[in-house]
Structure 1
Amino acid sequence: MNSIKRSKWLASLFLLPFALFFIIFQIAPLAWVAIHSLQAESGWGLANFSKVFESRFYRQAIQHSLEISFWSSVFGILIAVLGSYSLRKVDSRLRDFVNAFANMTSNFAGVPLAFAFIILLGFNGALTMLLKQAGIIEDFNLYSKTGLIILYTYFQIPLGVLLLYPAFDALREDWRESAELLGANAWQYWLHIGLPVMTPALLGTFVILLANALGAYATVYALTTGNFNVLPIRIAALVAGDISLDPNLASALAVILVGLMTLVTVIHQWLLKRSYHVAR
């Protein structure tokens, strides 16, 4: 009995550094942002939030962030699902190479990624010029919302592959064989067996991709030099800008960003519970 208590005490002691780290670098900044979001020139209140939602400019930033994050996450997870499933069927050497490449490219973001896309898909980019000469496209603007969705999708795919590849271990080969023996085709197998089993992993990956896109700053800033209206750019401009310096308003925008992610997480948990009930 004493040894059990001693082991629990030691475990709690080793957990203390992590708890301190979590409080200092997670809870404290979040509390600071929440408190300062309620401070305005007129005093304490919701004036900063009112200013955000009354401003068409800030509403546009929220809309752009949600649209780019949602569509890049959708395209990213669709490609990642196909890629992860295909990797299960190829030679182990190629599979290991692609996994290593995905691990490397998942960290390829920020200024290098923006520079690479400018070279390839900028107004005079190599790929843009080739597609124009082939008559496939007439014009393409990498610095638009469509261009940013393509850019975001690029760095979503490797992360999606890394997250979804282990999830396919949950699908047993004898389930497919049993379904085929009972007369089920491929679509019926995936509809009634594959997708229900994969639903928790798919929803969890989608939420992570959405959070990854919502918080992205360096890549979009390096590509557009801060001229495209998304939430991270607006927050940074209000914190470090020379003209529109307003840390309290930036805190309100940050709280809205956290609130959006909290809402997505709540919906994710609700869908997970629903999928478990359906599976039962």
Structure 2
Amino acid sequence: MNSITRGKWLALLCLVPFAVFFIIFQIAPLAWVMLHSVQVESTWGLDNFSKIFSSKFYRQAIQHSLEISFWSSLFGILIAILGSYSLRRVDSRLRDFVNAFANMTSNFSGVPLAFAFIILLGFNGALTMLLKQAGIIEDFNLYSKTGLIILYTYFQIPLGVLLLYPAFDALREDWRESAELLGAGAWQYWRHIGLPVLTPALLGTFVILLANALGAYATVYALTTGNFNVLPIRIAALVAGDISLDPNLASALAVILVGLMTLVTFVHQWLLKRSYHVAR
């Protein structure tokens, strides 16, 4: 056995622990969920999915999850684009501080984040009272869909900055200088050079932000005590609820959630291929 063959076998051997953990903690739970999603008591069928799509309550949960995830991801990535680009133009010490702060705040979620927003933007929150006294707002409900979009956007921004900041390394300064020498304005530079180069990173980041928002549970539960109708709340209620205990229906909801993310991923891949062909 030559050295190349031994190296391949060694690499495969090192891959075994990862493969075992991946099967146990990724494939096996997904298979269990998919299996139980088509199980109704002692029979098999699609009754769980029929119940979900025929119920206005569960359709509302799907709609709320998609709306909150989409808008928070969109606002988050727009702010992250501006922030990441601006970081390239500032002093290195400030840049390092902002990156470290973004890394820290990207993990600031769940109960602490919900508590912080209640103090700031709750019905009697400090910022809410100041804005009302200044006449900027008349009525604001943090516990509504709009409030949740603002809350989700907050924890999307640091993650977006961390993901997009390295992507701006692909933009070389001499490209801008060459475009200016050829008479191109700022809009033409971004339209024909900047955005096509950044498109894969932008699409990938947007998909990650969508997944991050779709699966968020602790923050919205801590803020609304489980009273706002989104998919993660409904799944948890069906798994851990004392009255509405139905793990098979929860599995069907989880499959729908996985299906939504799969659809988003396929769209992402299609857009990437299309942007690649257009760029060529």
TM-score by length of 2: 0.99
Distance in 1 (CA, whole Å) between partners of 2:270 and 2:258 is 18
Give the drift of 1:123.
0.1
Give the drift of 1:42.
6.5
Give the drift of 1:200.
0.2
Deviation per residue, 1:204-235 (Å, 9 max, x gap): 00000000000000000000000000000000
The corresponding residue for 1:110 is 110
Identity of matched residues, %: 91
More deviation in 38-47 or 221-230?
Answer: 38-47
Give the drift of 1:43.
1.3
Deviation per residue, 1:58-105 (Å, 9 max, x gap): 000000000000000000000000000000000000000000000000
Deviation per residue, 1:86-136 (Å, 9 max, x gap): 000000000000000000000000000000000000000000000000000
Give the drift of 1:41.
3.0
Structure 1 segments, 4+ long, off by >3 Å, are none
The corresponding residue for 1:13 is 13
Distance in 1 (CA, whole Å) between partners of 2:107 and 2:97 is 16
The corresponding residue for 2:277 is 277
Distance in 1 (CA, whole Å) between partners of 2:142 and 2:276 is 41
Distance in 2 (CA, whole Å) between partners of 1:252 and 1:203 is 28
The corresponding residue for 1:95 is 95
1:116-195 mapped onto 2 (5 Å cutoff): 116-195=116-195
Give the drift of 1:180.
0.1
Give the SS at the match of 1:135.
coil
Distance in 2 (CA, whole Å) between partners of 1:184 and 1:242 is 65
1:54-65 mapped onto 2 (5 Å cutoff): 54-65=54-65
Give the SS at the match of 2:13.
helix
More deviation in 158-167 or 34-43?
Answer: 34-43
Distance in 2 (CA, whole Å) between partners of 1:39 and 1:219 is 31
Give the SS at the match of 2:255.
helix
Structure 2 unaligned spans of 5+ = none
1:249-260 mapped onto 2 (5 Å cutoff): 249-260=249-260
Give the SS at the match of 2:180.
helix
Structure 1 unaligned spans of 5+ = none
Distance in 1 (CA, whole Å) between partners of 2:175 and 2:87 is 19
Distance in 1 (CA, whole Å) between partners of 2:111 and 2:41 is 36
Distance in 2 (CA, whole Å) between partners of 1:22 and 1:127 is 45
Deviation per residue, 1:1-35 (Å, 9 max, x gap): 71000000000000000000000000000000000
Deviation per residue, 1:132-152 (Å, 9 max, x gap): 000000010000000000000
Distance in 2 (CA, whole Å) between partners of 1:103 and 1:164 is 13
Distance in 2 (CA, whole Å) between partners of 1:14 and 1:185 is 52
Distance in 2 (CA, whole Å) between partners of 1:42 and 1:249 is 14
How many equivalent residue pairs? 280
